[in-house]
Amino acid sequence: MATICTLRKHRCHFLANFPDLMYNIHVLNTEVTNPMKQAILVVDMLNDFVTGALKCDRGLAIVPQTAKLLDGARKAGIPVIFCNDAHLKGIDHELKLWGDHAIAGTKGAEVIPELHLSDIDYVVPKRRYSGFFHTDLDLLLRELGVDTVIMTGLHAHMCVRHTSADAYQLGYELIVAKDATDSFTKEDYEIGIKYLHDVYGAEITDVDTLLASWEK
Protein backbone atom coordinates (compact mmCIF):
# COMPACT_ATOMS: atom_id res chain seq x y z
CA MET A 1 0.00 0.00 0.00
CA ALA A 2 2.86 2.35 0.86
CA THR A 3 4.37 1.74 -2.58
CA ILE A 4 1.07 2.52 -4.31
CA CYS A 5 0.65 5.71 -2.30
CA THR A 6 4.21 6.76 -3.15
CA LEU A 7 3.61 6.19 -6.84
CA ARG A 8 0.39 8.17 -6.69
CA LYS A 9 2.22 10.97 -4.91
CA HIS A 10 4.91 11.12 -7.59
CA ARG A 11 2.27 10.95 -10.33
CA CYS A 12 0.40 13.88 -8.82
CA HIS A 13 3.65 15.84 -8.51
CA PHE A 14 4.44 15.17 -12.18
CA LEU A 15 0.98 16.23 -13.37
CA ALA A 16 1.11 19.36 -11.23
CA ASN A 17 4.36 20.37 -12.89
CA PHE A 18 3.44 19.15 -16.39
CA PRO A 19 2.68 22.66 -17.76
CA ASP A 20 6.12 23.87 -16.63
CA LEU A 21 7.78 20.86 -18.22
CA MET A 22 5.98 21.45 -21.50
CA TYR A 23 6.95 25.12 -21.38
CA ASN A 24 10.61 24.20 -20.93
CA ILE A 25 10.44 21.75 -23.84
CA HIS A 26 8.83 24.44 -26.01
CA VAL A 27 11.55 26.95 -25.13
CA LEU A 28 14.24 24.38 -25.91
CA ASN A 29 12.72 23.64 -29.33
CA THR A 30 12.45 27.34 -30.09
CA GLU A 31 16.11 27.88 -29.31
CA VAL A 32 17.32 25.22 -31.74
CA THR A 33 15.04 26.18 -34.64
CA ASN A 34 17.08 27.15 -37.72
CA PRO A 35 16.74 30.76 -38.88
CA MET A 36 15.38 31.53 -42.35
CA LYS A 37 17.81 30.43 -45.04
CA GLN A 38 17.66 31.19 -48.75
CA ALA A 39 18.89 29.38 -51.85
CA ILE A 40 19.01 30.43 -55.49
CA LEU A 41 17.29 28.15 -58.00
CA VAL A 42 18.60 28.69 -61.53
CA VAL A 43 16.20 27.08 -63.97
CA ASP A 44 17.36 25.98 -67.43
CA MET A 45 20.02 28.60 -68.09
CA LEU A 46 21.55 26.18 -70.57
CA ASN A 47 23.17 26.57 -73.97
CA ASP A 48 20.15 25.15 -75.78
CA PHE A 49 17.75 27.50 -73.98
CA VAL A 50 19.77 30.68 -74.44
CA THR A 51 21.61 30.34 -77.76
CA GLY A 52 20.82 26.85 -79.09
CA ALA A 53 17.85 24.70 -80.07
CA LEU A 54 15.34 26.79 -78.09
CA LYS A 55 17.19 30.07 -78.48
CA CYS A 56 15.65 32.93 -76.53
CA ASP A 57 16.92 36.47 -77.08
CA ARG A 58 15.17 37.65 -73.93
CA GLY A 59 16.98 34.89 -72.05
CA LEU A 60 20.30 36.18 -73.34
CA ALA A 61 19.41 39.66 -72.07
CA ILE A 62 19.10 38.50 -68.42
CA VAL A 63 22.53 36.85 -68.34
CA PRO A 64 24.48 39.82 -66.88
CA GLN A 65 22.07 40.35 -63.97
CA THR A 66 21.83 36.62 -63.32
CA ALA A 67 25.63 36.30 -63.23
CA LYS A 68 25.79 39.28 -60.86
CA LEU A 69 23.23 37.67 -58.55
CA LEU A 70 25.01 34.31 -58.47
CA ASP A 71 28.39 35.87 -57.74
CA GLY A 72 26.85 37.81 -54.85
CA ALA A 73 25.10 34.70 -53.50
CA ARG A 74 28.32 32.69 -53.49
CA LYS A 75 30.14 35.46 -51.61
CA ALA A 76 27.27 35.62 -49.08
CA GLY A 77 27.31 31.85 -48.55
CA ILE A 78 23.90 31.35 -50.15
CA PRO A 79 23.59 28.04 -52.03
CA VAL A 80 23.29 28.23 -55.81
CA ILE A 81 21.36 25.31 -57.30
CA PHE A 82 21.07 24.75 -61.03
CA CYS A 83 17.89 22.91 -62.08
CA ASN A 84 18.84 21.68 -65.53
CA ASP A 85 16.93 19.87 -68.23
CA ALA A 86 18.79 16.63 -68.98
CA HIS A 87 16.55 14.76 -71.39
CA LEU A 88 16.77 11.21 -72.66
CA LYS A 89 16.68 11.30 -76.44
CA GLY A 90 13.69 9.52 -77.96
CA ILE A 91 12.11 8.92 -74.56
CA ASP A 92 11.19 12.06 -72.66
CA HIS A 93 7.63 13.29 -73.07
CA GLU A 94 8.60 16.96 -73.42
CA LEU A 95 10.60 16.27 -76.56
CA LYS A 96 7.37 15.49 -78.40
CA LEU A 97 6.28 19.09 -77.83
CA TRP A 98 9.56 20.97 -78.12
CA GLY A 99 11.81 18.77 -80.22
CA ASP A 100 15.27 17.65 -79.14
CA HIS A 101 16.88 20.01 -76.64
CA ALA A 102 19.15 19.74 -73.61
CA ILE A 103 19.86 16.07 -74.25
CA ALA A 104 21.82 14.68 -71.31
CA GLY A 105 25.55 14.64 -71.97
CA THR A 106 25.47 17.12 -74.85
CA LYS A 107 26.82 20.66 -74.95
CA GLY A 108 23.27 21.96 -75.27
CA ALA A 109 22.51 20.62 -71.78
CA GLU A 110 25.42 22.50 -70.18
CA VAL A 111 25.06 25.67 -68.12
CA ILE A 112 25.98 28.74 -70.16
CA PRO A 113 29.63 29.69 -69.47
CA GLU A 114 28.74 33.24 -68.41
CA LEU A 115 27.23 31.92 -65.17
CA HIS A 116 30.52 30.32 -64.11
CA LEU A 117 29.24 27.03 -62.71
CA SER A 118 31.37 26.49 -59.60
CA ASP A 119 32.51 23.50 -57.57
CA ILE A 120 30.52 24.91 -54.64
CA ASP A 121 27.28 25.03 -56.68
CA TYR A 122 24.75 22.20 -56.89
CA VAL A 123 23.27 20.69 -60.07
CA VAL A 124 19.91 18.92 -60.09
CA PRO A 125 19.10 17.29 -63.45
CA LYS A 126 15.44 17.12 -64.42
CA ARG A 127 13.41 15.53 -67.20
CA ARG A 128 10.21 17.55 -66.81
CA TYR A 129 9.32 21.22 -66.39
CA SER A 130 9.60 21.25 -62.60
CA GLY A 131 12.91 21.04 -60.80
CA PHE A 132 11.19 19.00 -58.09
CA PHE A 133 9.45 16.33 -60.20
CA HIS A 134 11.19 12.98 -59.55
CA THR A 135 14.44 14.69 -58.47
CA ASP A 136 16.21 15.07 -55.13
CA LEU A 137 15.81 18.87 -55.04
CA ASP A 138 13.50 18.85 -52.02
CA LEU A 139 15.87 16.56 -50.11
CA LEU A 140 18.83 18.80 -50.98
CA LEU A 141 17.05 21.97 -49.84
CA ARG A 142 15.96 20.41 -46.56
CA GLU A 143 19.44 19.08 -45.80
CA LEU A 144 20.81 22.56 -46.49
CA GLY A 145 18.27 23.99 -44.05
CA VAL A 146 16.62 26.12 -46.76
CA ASP A 147 13.09 27.44 -46.33
CA THR A 148 13.07 30.21 -48.97
CA VAL A 149 13.91 29.80 -52.66
CA ILE A 150 14.84 32.64 -55.00
CA MET A 151 13.64 31.86 -58.51
CA THR A 152 15.66 32.75 -61.61
CA GLY A 153 15.98 31.45 -65.16
CA LEU A 154 13.75 30.36 -68.03
CA HIS A 155 10.84 30.47 -68.59
CA ALA A 156 8.73 32.51 -66.18
CA HIS A 157 5.47 31.01 -67.46
CA MET A 158 6.71 27.42 -67.81
CA CYS A 159 9.63 25.77 -65.99
CA VAL A 160 10.04 28.59 -63.46
CA ARG A 161 6.30 28.50 -62.82
CA HIS A 162 6.11 24.70 -62.45
CA THR A 163 9.14 24.63 -60.15
CA SER A 164 7.60 27.42 -58.09
CA ALA A 165 4.31 25.53 -57.87
CA ASP A 166 6.01 22.50 -56.36
CA ALA A 167 8.09 24.68 -54.03
CA TYR A 168 4.91 26.32 -52.77
CA GLN A 169 3.12 22.99 -52.30
CA LEU A 170 6.11 21.73 -50.30
CA GLY A 171 6.01 24.73 -47.99
CA TYR A 172 8.86 26.91 -49.24
CA GLU A 173 8.65 30.69 -49.32
CA LEU A 174 9.15 32.16 -52.78
CA ILE A 175 11.09 35.15 -54.04
CA VAL A 176 11.42 35.99 -57.74
CA ALA A 177 14.33 38.00 -59.09
CA LYS A 178 12.36 39.67 -61.86
CA ASP A 179 15.43 40.84 -63.81
CA ALA A 180 17.01 37.38 -63.67
CA THR A 181 14.11 35.52 -65.24
CA ASP A 182 12.25 35.90 -68.53
CA SER A 183 10.26 34.15 -71.26
CA PHE A 184 10.07 33.96 -75.05
CA THR A 185 7.84 37.05 -75.15
CA LYS A 186 7.10 40.03 -72.94
CA GLU A 187 3.49 38.87 -72.63
CA ASP A 188 4.52 35.39 -71.47
CA TYR A 189 6.94 36.94 -68.97
CA GLU A 190 4.37 39.33 -67.50
CA ILE A 191 1.74 36.58 -67.26
CA GLY A 192 4.26 34.31 -65.56
CA ILE A 193 5.42 36.87 -62.99
CA LYS A 194 1.86 37.91 -62.15
CA TYR A 195 0.84 34.27 -61.67
CA LEU A 196 3.74 33.60 -59.31
CA HIS A 197 2.76 36.61 -57.21
CA ASP A 198 -1.00 36.14 -57.23
CA VAL A 199 -1.20 32.36 -56.84
CA TYR A 200 1.90 31.47 -54.80
CA GLY A 201 2.39 34.72 -52.92
CA ALA A 202 5.88 35.15 -54.34
CA GLU A 203 7.75 38.29 -53.41
CA ILE A 204 8.77 40.04 -56.65
CA THR A 205 12.05 41.91 -56.35
CA ASP A 206 15.22 42.59 -58.32
CA VAL A 207 18.87 41.59 -58.23
CA ASP A 208 20.22 44.78 -56.70
CA THR A 209 17.69 44.66 -53.86
CA LEU A 210 18.65 41.08 -53.06
CA LEU A 211 22.36 41.88 -53.11
CA ALA A 212 21.81 44.83 -50.76
CA SER A 213 19.83 42.64 -48.35
CA TRP A 214 22.75 40.21 -48.04
CA GLU A 215 25.12 43.01 -47.08
CA LYS A 216 23.10 44.02 -44.00
Q: In this structure, are 5 and 58 located in the same domain?
A: no
Q: Are residues 72 and 40 in the same domain?
A: yes
| 153, 42 contact by CB (below 8 A) | yes
User: What residues form DSSP beta bridges with 128?
Assistant: none
> Counting every residue, how long is the chain?
216
24 shares its domain with 43: no
**Same domain assignment for residues 66 and 158:** yes
The CATH number that applies at residue 76 is 3.40.50.850
Of the candidates 187, 208, 195, 202, which has an alpha carbon nearest to the alpha carbon of residue 58? 187
Question: Which domain does 24 fall in, by range?
Answer: 1-33
Same domain, 25 and 69: no
Residue-wise pLDDT tens digits, 21-78: 333 433 333 333 334 699 999 999 999 999 999 999 999 999 999 999 999 999 999 9
- Confidence (pTM): 0.84
DSSP string, 96-124: HHH-S-SBTTSGGGSBPGGG---TTSEEE
Give CA–CA dist 145/37, Å, rounded.
Answer: 7
Instruction: Please indicate, yes or no, whether residues 156 and 169 belong to a single structural domain of this protein.
Output: yes
* Residues 22 and 72 both lie in one domain: no
205: enclosing H helix or E strand: strand 203-205
18/44 same-domain check: no
Number of domains in the chain: 2
127, 24: one domain: no
92 with 45, same domain? yes
End-to-end CA distance of the chain, in Å? 66
Per-residue pLDDT of the chain (216 residues; tens, 9 = 90+): 444 444 444 444 444 554 453 334 333 333 333 346 999 999 999 999 999 999 999 999 999 999 999 999 999 999 999 999 999 999 999 999 999 999 999 999 999 999 999 999 999 999 999 999 999 999 999 999 999 999 999 999 999 999 999 999 999 999 999 999 999 999 999 999 999 999 999 999 999 999 999 997
Mean model confidence pLDDT for the chain: 88
Residue 92 sits in the same domain as residue 130:
yes
